[in-house]
């Protein structure tokens, strides 16, 4: 084990007893560790990233919106479609960057290649736009009024990003 990590390991393993036992340094809090990890809100720890702005969007939304099993199954289908479309958009983005690099690489700028890369990006963005709009429409149909209000609150506050 790396020597600089031993104090962290002891703090995590021994908890608050550590300071009383003379191991020292017990002034850091969990809140500090969340900020160091890049999180502003300790309550959001573990729910960052992912396709819907949280690590486990299905579990997070099922809990926050109090969904029943039928709603969870439909939400899983919706999220899977968005995830697939976003993955395809990422592939298209990498492909467009490659085309842009090819356009720049030669002795003369190849405008037709650059245009095809830009068109690829535009098509991909339009497909993703359509998928998100479709998903939002299906979500609206799926949820009741109170659940829609909670979802809107999560989106508005930035807890959930679409």
Q: What's the Cα-to-Cα distance from 72 to each of 66, 67, 108, 159, 161, rounded to whole Å? A: 9, 6, 54, 19, 19
Residue-range domain boundaries for the chain: 3-44, 57-157
| Alpha-helix residue ranges (DSSP H) falling in the chain | 6-14, 17-20, 30-36, 57-65, 69-105, 111-142, 145-157
pTM, two decimals, is 0.60
Question: How confident is the model over 81-110, as a mean pLDDT?
Answer: 93
Nearest CA-CA partner of 75 in 60, 86, 89:
60
Please tell me the distance from the alpha carbon of residue 58 to that of residue 144, in angstroms, as a whole number: 17
Q: What is the pLDDT of residue 119?
A: 95
pLDDT tens for 33-73 read 444 444 444 444 344 444 455 567 788 888 889 999 999 99
| Percent of the chain's residues with pLDDT above 70 | 73
One CATH from 2.60.40, 1.10.3470, 1.20.120, 1.10.286 for 57-157: 1.20.120
Q: Above 50 in pLDDT, residue 126?
A: yes
């Amino acid at each position: 084990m790396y020597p600089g990590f031993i104090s962290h390991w002891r703090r995590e393993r021994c908890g608050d007893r550590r300071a009383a036992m003379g191991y020292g340094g017990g002034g850091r809090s969990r809140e500090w560790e969340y900020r160091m990890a890049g999180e502003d809100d300790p309550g959001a720890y573990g729910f960052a990233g992912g396709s819907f702005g949280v690590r486990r969007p299905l579990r997070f939304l099922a809990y926050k919106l109090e969904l029943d099993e039928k709603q969870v199954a439909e939400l899983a289908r919706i999220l899977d479609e968005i995830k697939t479309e976003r993955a395809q958009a990422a592939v298209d983005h990498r492909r467009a960057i490659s085309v842009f690099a090819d356009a720049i690489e030669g002795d003369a700028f190849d405008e037709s290649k650059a245009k095809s890369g830009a068109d690829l990006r535009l098509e991909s963005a339009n497909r993703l736009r359509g998928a998100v709009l479709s998903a939002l429409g299906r979500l609206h149909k799926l949820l009741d009024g109170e659940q829609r209000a909670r979802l809107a609150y999560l989106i508005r506050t930035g807890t959930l990003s679409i």
